[in-house]
Amino acid sequence: MAEQAEKIKVLICQGTGGLASGAAAVADAFTAEFAKQGVEAKVGKRCEVIGTGCRGLCANDVLVDIVMPGTEGVTYDFVTAEMVPQIVAEHVLENTPVAKKVAGPYYGKFLEKQQRIIFSRCGTIDAESLDEFLEHRGFTGIKKAVTMTPDEVIEEVKRSGLRGRGGGGFPTGVKWSFCKASPGEEKYLICNADEGDPGAFMDRSVLEGDPYGLIEGLMIGAYAIGCKFAYVYVRAEYPLAIKRLQMAIDTCYEKGYLGKNCMGLGFDLDMRIKAGAGAFVCGEETALMASIEGHRGMSRPRPPFPAVRGLWGKPTNINNVETFANVSYIFYNGADWYSSIGTEGTKGTKIFALTGKVKHTGLVEVPAGTTMKEVIYDVCGGILNNRKFKAVQAGGPSGGCLPTEALDAEVDYDSLIKAGAMMGSGGLVVMDETTCMVDIARFFLNFTRVESCGKCIPCRIGLKIMLEILERITQGKGREGDIELLQDMAFDIKKSSLCGLGQTAPNPVLSTIRYFRSEYETHIREKECPSHSCKPLLHFKVIDDKCKKCGVCPKVCPVDAIRWEKGQVAFIDIDKCTECTSCYDACRFMAIE
């Protein structure tokens, strides 16, 4: 450990977001600059460039931490390869951080209210290194678990209060007990890493940043239910996650952590990745199992439930990535420690993916019970361009849209359901005053309609008819009675659909009608979009008393359709205008109708 402390570490975010922003080039630049400057000889310490998992503040990638021996790390954001020589010369060689390039105070605020448990290793260790995982308590959880009986392991998970993080929130320990109690020697454990919600990438970040932690959680679950084979079902659109997880699985086989007599602890476990084709419906457990078996991903009626008759007709337990990632920490620290975090009904932390009209998009991990307002304003900095908050869509495409008055709702299963949304897997899409709630309902319903497997009529036909009504309304062709028809159809589809996709798909429509009914009525009766968002209802003119004469709109117009002189109100030439909405998106004062 003394040798470890004497290293100079450069931690570079090399999750998907970091790599897309140029993290590989930044890493190469640090390595080359260290060699060019002879840094190790000058400072007398080893310099190590480490690729980590996602750091959370994805909008500010590439994120880099410089950790000098005996000091706290200093974080730089928006790092490019061109910045590296200055950082090395001043910070590494002179131990003087480059103040102008250090991440601002917003980075500290971003982390302040978070409690990073599942993400505690993401962004701090080499995601591909087994040795670094072992240095951070890796595999101590499974070693503790095997000193207990399987029933005692399940009881510990029950006492912790852990609920499934895939959306339903079913108690994990209870679910494990059902599978363990099912007769039969052959059982299966499945980790659902399909994660199809638009804008959600929590599971992907765990797979990329802490793959060994997921493996350990699966090992504990397998020991508890008495199974010898585990699948991780990952969508093929996650190539980096698949690569790092497969690398970790291969290393575990090589070192004896998987296979026969795992770690010499007296139980066997084989593990395999199944890459899915990206169908959203395969996030539903019966469709997922059909996909693993080589069939088309379509849901089947339940019962029988997977715990009784699942994969290939054998008892099967299914949880998602975040659930299994929690399991390890329960056994590191104990059920009492875990249950002390969160609320009475939702224990532990929850990871959220924040996207949309928010200043700092990315991943946050907060204790259950944190309010939606704290997540959006305190952690993520508030609304982009300081516009007014309008709504947040919680729970993915099957969740609900919550207005300003619901901002004080706590992020836990029961509070969000009461408010008209759901926890889901943890996607939060933030909307401002420029967002049309009718169009948002149309957008998410279109997504679920396209992703429907088509097996049952309520989902296949019902969602199509609802979508046609919403499209009419956003085109200015809505009719009296459309709102009531949407509500009636939504309740019928929820009651009669075969699986969770159809049962929850109408939620965005119902929640937007509940909280933003006036917008629907304005679209139908006045043929106007209050948010000036629905293209067929736009007039494309500048409102004189709102225009601040700033000159931003002509700069973004791709066809030079806006005339403007300094100190004058802008004017849109309708003959030239292509109605692309670039000017409307750029105007911070909503002066363009």
What CATH number did the domain enclosing 360 receive? Answer: 3.10.20.600
Give me the residue label for tokens 């993401």. Answer: 122
Instruction: Say yes or no: 424 and 442 in one domain.
Output: no
Q: What's the domain count of the chain? A: 5
> What is d(CA 419, CA 137) in angstroms, rounded to the nearest whole number?
39
Instruction: Say yes or no: 443 and 412 in one domain.
Output: no
Tell me what the mean pLDDT of segment 516-544 comes to: 88
Highest mean pLDDT range out of 307-321, 401-415, 535-549? Answer: 307-321
Instruction: Say yes or no: 266 and 334 in one domain.
Output: yes
**457 pLDDT higher than 50:** yes
CATH number of domain containing 446: 1.20.1440.230
> What is d(CA 1, CA 421) in angstroms, rounded to the nearest whole number?
48
What pLDDT, on the 0 to 100 scale, is given for residue 99?
92
With cut-offs at 50, 70 and 90, classify the pLDDT of residue 386: confident
**491 pLDDT higher than 70:** yes
Residue 344 within any structural domain of the chain = no
Ranking 387-396, 487-496, 512-521 by mean pLDDT, the lowest is: 387-396
**151 pLDDT higher than 70:** yes
> What is d(CA 266, CA 170) in angstroms, rounded to the nearest whole number?
30
Residue 77 within any structural domain of the chain = yes
Q: Which of 414, 432, 450 is the last residue of a domain?
A: 432
> Using one digit for the tens of pLDDT, what is the confidence trace for 225-246?
999 999 999 999 999 999 999 9
Instruction: Pick the closest to residue 219 from 118, 336, 134, 138 (CA basis).
Output: 138
Q: Can you tell me whether residue 184 is helix, strand or coil?
A: coil
Q: Can you tell me whether residue 371 is helix, strand or coil?
A: strand
CATH number of domain containing 31: 3.40.30.10
Residues facing residue 358 across a β-bridge: 383
Residue type, position 557, single letter: C
Instruction: Say yes or no: 360 and 450 in one domain.
Output: no
Domain extent, residue 355, equals 349-432
Tell me what the mean pLDDT of segment 507-513 comes to: 92
Please state the pTM of the whole predicted model.
0.89
Alpha-helix residue ranges (DSSP H) falling in 398-506: 413-419, 437-451, 457, 463-474, 482-496, 500-504
Question: Which residues lie below 8 Å from residue 294, measured CB to CB, with a gap of 6+?
Answer: none
Instruction: Pick the closest to residue 77 from 111, 100, 96, 94 (CA basis).
Output: 100
> Using one digit for the tens of pLDDT, what is the confidence trace for 43-86?
888 899 999 999 899 889 999 999 998 888 899 999 999 999 99
Specify the higher pLDDT residue, 554 or 182.
182
Pairing label, strands 562-563, 47-52: unpaired
Alpha-helix residue ranges (DSSP H) falling in 226-284: 239-255
CATH number of domain containing 549: 3.30.70.20
Instruction: Say yes or no: 160 and 251 in one domain.
Output: yes
- Per the CB < 8 A criterion, the answer to whether 509 and 516 are in contact is no
- DSSP letters, 210-229, are -HHHHHHHHHHHHHHHT-SE
Instruction: Say yes or no: 254 and 227 in one domain.
Output: yes
- Per the CB < 8 A criterion, the answer to whether 345 and 369 are in contact is no
Instruction: Say yes or no: 423 and 398 in one domain.
Output: yes
Specify the higher pLDDT residue, 565 or 229.
229
Over pLDDT 90: what percentage of the chain? 66
Instruction: Say yes or no: 490 and 581 in one domain.
Output: no
CATH number of domain containing 151: 3.40.50.11540
> Using one digit for the tens of pLDDT, what is the confidence trace for 98-138?
999 999 888 888 988 899 999 999 989 999 999 999 999 99
> What is d(CA 396, CA 426) in angstroms, rounded to the nearest whole number?
7
**354 pLDDT higher than 50:** yes
Instruction: Say yes or no: 428 and 477 in one domain.
Output: no
Tell me what the mean pLDDT of segment 352-361 comes to: 91
Tell me what the mean pLDDT of segment 568-588 comes to: 84
Q: Which of 282, 305, 339 is the last residue of a domain?
A: 339
Q: Which of 408, 432, 456 is the last residue of a domain?
A: 432
With cut-offs at 50, 70 and 90, classify the pLDDT of residue 4: very low
